[in-house]
Structure 1
C-alpha cells in the first residue's frame, strides 16, 4: 500500500454504511464528536456519520498498534473531520507507563453500501 520509508503504519477499515446501535455510539464518541455527528447528520443524512466515526477509529487503531504496541480505546482518539473526505485523530494513550499523544491522519469514502477509511502515520 505504501513505501515503508514514507509511513510507519497504515490502517484500513470497512464497515456497512448503516447506523450504529445507539448503545455503541455512547461508548465510542466524546461529547464533541457527538455534537459534530448531529450537525453533519442534519446537513447530509445520506452518510452514516456514527458508523463513519467507528470506522475511522478502527482504522486509526490499526495504525496505532503496530507502532506503539498498545490500544488507547475508543475514547482515546478524538476525531476531527475536514470539509471534504479527510480526518485527523488526536490519540492520547495512557495504557503504558508514559502517556503518548500523537496525530493520525486519514481519508474516508462511502460507496456501494460501505464506508472505507484509511489512516496513516
Structure 2
C-alpha cells in the first residue's frame, strides 16, 4: 500500500502491537477504496499528534479475520488503551468494539483524545457523534 504512505501488516502483528502500546488503533483498510485512503491519511496525521500508535491491516488480505471480528466494510477502526479494546457508543446505534465507515477529522481526534484519557481513568467507553 505504498501509494498511501503506510505499511499494512498482518492482523496478528497489529494486535500484538496494539495490546502492548499505551494507546493504539488498528485500522482495517482497502488500498483501492477512497474512504479507506482518506482514513489512512487522517490516522497518519492525527494518530502521532495525539500520541496514539496506529497499525494498518489490509481488509482484503485479512478478510477472514475481519469477518470473524464482525467487520464487513472499511475503513474500520478498533481502539485500545492499556491493551484493552475500547467500546464505542454512537447515538441510535448499538455499542460496538469498532468504528466502521468514514469519519471527520474532528470526530477522529475526539475519539483519539478520549482513548488517551482512558489511560488515567477506569473508563473504557468512547462516545462518538451520530454518523452522517
Q: Shorter-normalised TM-score: what interval?
A: 0.3 to 0.5
Query: Higher relative contact order at CA 8 Å, sep ≥6: structure 1 or structure 2?
Result: 1
Q: Which has the larger radius of gyration?
A: 1
TM-score when scaled to structure 1?
0.33
Choose between structure 1 and 2: higher strand proportion. 1
